[in-house]
Each structure stands twice: as structure tokens, then as C-alpha cells.
Amino acid sequence: MVKKGLIAIIISLVLCTLTACQSSSVTAQGFAMDTTLSVTLYGQSEPAQKVIKEIESLEGVISWSKPDSALAKLNETGKTDNLYICEIAGKVAPIADYTQNRYNLLMRPLCRLWDINGDRSVPPTEQEVKAALNSSKGEIILNDSSLSITGSKMDLGSVGKGYACDRGAALLAAYDTCGIITVGGSIALCGTKPSGDKWKVSVASPEDINKSVGTLSLEGGNFISTSGDSQRYFEYEGNRYHHIIDGKTGYPSKSDLKAVTVVCNSGLLSDALSTACFIVGYEKSLPLLEQYNAQAVFIKTDGKIVTTSGLEGVFKATK
């Protein structure tokens, strides 16, 4: 019986060691959609490079800046049957409708005018904004497995990172692994950590990415995206011009929000909803989030942090 006890001790020591090996993680880095990607996996680590490649190749489909992309062809011809673009447009349509098109996917002329990705450091003139606004009043006509656009051009910058998280998570689901995918500030939580603990996601302060306004403790299957006025902007004569354009005014949106973080079961929706909520402000965001069973952390311009009720016990504000 004592010998059995000794064997039990040896087995448990070895299992502890193996568990420690299992709970070490491997991270692969990449770059796409003008931002940094990373895939951190526990268990099998080879799928990490596959996810990086999948997301990098997705950019070749949905990026306006790649001349051979399906999106560029759509903008040139007015038609596409690309499954990714059709899926994105179909799912975003009701959100765009809710905002009365203050958020929508046909704002390429306005995005190009404001050129936030580039070197613009002086705001465009009123006439330039009016002209771009008129060129951004288009329509998407959705068919069964294709779509056409009229009157404008499509820009998927507001949803690309979230959608990339979906594609990455779908690929990972085929492997016996768990981990976290980040595309810029959009995050996919996949599976359960070997320790059984929840995933911890810091919600960054708009002033300093490494200062946290609080932490979300979440299970796998959740996707997180944030929209705010501090990620990309320029300042001119004391005013900040951020990168999220209001489709009604043609100017960077103004609301009572400095940033909003959305949590839901889809990367595409978390990204689209965070942009839409940032544009429409706190009060109008609530019914929209409820429709999608999504939760949010709002950082208001007065500095207050408010969350939807579903984040009670999930979001812990930094003291």
C-alpha cells in the first residue's frame, strides 16, 4: 500500500510538470490592416502561424488599399459575389439603419478626404467636406449571394479587425487548443485557459494604452472591440480630429463618449457596434446593444465609466 502511495506521488509530480508545460503559451506576431496582430496559444502552437496567414490574406480581400482586392473590384465595378464582403454588408446593414446611416460602410470618399491613416494635419475645407459627403450617399443592394453598390464606394475599415478575429477564431476551432487572437485592439477569446481561470482583458485608458480603466474577466467565445477618439487623430488649432467620421455631418463624430468597448459573441458585430455606439452616444447605444445581446464599457467625456448591466461582476474598474 505504501508502494502504491509512492507511485501516486510520482505520477502526480509528473502530471504537475506536464500541466506546467501545457500552461506555457506561445505567441506569433503579424501585421495586417495597418496594425499589429498576435496569436497566443496554449496546447498546440502550430495553428498560430496559420491564423496569422489567414488574417494577412483576408486583408487581400477586404482592404481598399490593395488594388486586386475583392473590395477594390467592387468599388470599380459596383458588384461583388465575394462571400466575406456579402456577409459583412448583410450583418452591418441593420446597425447602419439604426444609426440612420451616421455609421455605414459606404463612406470611402469621406474616409479618403480625412485620410486619418496618412499625413493629414490640417482639416479639409467646408466645401471639400460637402463634396465628399455628397459622394458618400450611396446604397447597398443585397441579393442572395451577391451585392451591388450605387452612389459611393465601400470602406471596411470599421469592421476589418473584428471580422479578422472571427476568421481566426473559426480556424482555431478545428484544433485542440485555446488562446487569444488580437488584431489591433480587437480581441477574440478562444476556449478555456488550462488553469480554468477566465481570460483577463484590460480596457485601456484613452490617454495611455498601458494604464487600465478596468479589467474584463471573460470566458472563451467572447469578442471585444473598442472605438474611441484617441487611437488615430491629428490636432489643429487646439481641436482634435479623430478617425471616426459621422456619415451625417461629414466630420469626426461628436458625442458624450471618449471611448466605448463592446463585448459580444461575434468579432464583426463587436467592431461594428463599437463604432456605431461611439457615433450615436451613450443613450442611443443602449437599445442597439440590447438588440444584439451585447455588453459595453463606456468612457464618457466627463471621465465617468459606465457599463451595461450584463458586465456586473465581469468588469472590475481600476481603483
Partner 1 sequence: MKRRLITLADVLIAIATAAICAAVMLAIAPKGQGKNAVIYYKGDYYTSLPLSEDADVTVKGVTLSVRSGKAYVTDSTCPDKVCMQSKLHKSGDITVCMPNAVTVIIDGESDRDGITY
The answer to whether residue 24 forms part of the interface with partner 1 (CB under 8 A) is yes
Using the rule CB under 8 A, which residue among 186, 253, 275, 295 binds partner 1? 186
**CA-based nearest residue to 188, from 159, 161, 225, 223:** 223
Place of cell 495597418: 34
The answer to whether residue 9 forms part of the interface with partner 1 (CB under 8 A) is yes
Q: Quick one: residue 253, left, alpha or beta (phi over 0 = left, psi -120 to 50 = alpha)?
A: beta
Q: Which stretch binds partner 1 (CB under 8 A): 93-101, 167-175, 197-205, 277-285?
A: 197-205
Contacts of 286 (CB under 8 A, 6+ apart): 308
Determine the distance from the C-alpha atom of residue 17 to the mean position of all C-alpha atoms in its chain, rounded to a whole number.
37
Using CB under 8 A as the binding criterion, the count of chain residues that bind partner 1 stands at: 59
The answer to whether residue 17 forms part of the interface with partner 1 (CB under 8 A) is yes
d(CA 212, CA 6): 47
Nearer residue to partner 1 within complex by CB, 13 or 141: 13
For residue 13, the minimal CB distance to partner 1 (Å) is 5
**CA-based nearest residue to 89, from 145, 135, 167, 171:** 145
For residue 311, the minimal CB distance to partner 1 (Å) is 13
For residue 80, the minimal CB distance to partner 1 (Å) is 27
Q: Are 190 and 173 in contact (CB under 8 A)?
A: yes
Binding string, residues 40-79; x marks residues near partner 1 by CB under 8 A: x-----------x---------------------------
Using the rule CB under 8 A, which residue among 66, 200, 254, 304 binds partner 1? 200
Q: Cβ-count burial of 86 within 10 angstroms (0-12 exposed, 13-18 middle, 19+ buried)?
A: buried
Binding string, residues 256-285; x marks residues near partner 1 by CB under 8 A: -----x------------------------
Q: Which stretch binds partner 1 (CB under 8 A): 141-149, 167-175, 187-195, 281-289?
A: 187-195
The answer to whether residue 120 forms part of the interface with partner 1 (CB under 8 A) is yes
Q: Which stretch binds partner 1 (CB under 8 A): 13-21, 62-70, 140-148, 248-256?
A: 13-21
Place of cell 456619415: 247
Nearer residue to partner 1 within complex by CB, 34 or 73: 34
d(CA 89, CA 149): 11
For residue 138, the minimal CB distance to partner 1 (Å) is 27
d(CA 237, CA 62): 35
Q: Which stretch binds partner 1 (CB under 8 A): 95-103, 133-141, 177-185, 283-291?
A: 177-185
Q: What is the DSSP code string of 83-141?
A: HHHHHHHHHHHHHHHHTTTSS-S--HHHHHHH-TTTT--SPPPHHHHHHHHHHT--EEE
Between the CA of residue 316 and those of 51, 214, 246, 312, what are the distances in Å? 31, 5, 31, 8
Please report, as ranges, the residues that interact with partner 1 according to CB under 8 A. Answer: 2-3, 6, 9-10, 13-14, 16-17, 20-21, 24, 29-32, 34-37, 40, 52, 117-121, 180, 182, 184-187, 189, 193, 199-204, 207-212, 215-216, 224-226, 228, 230-234, 261
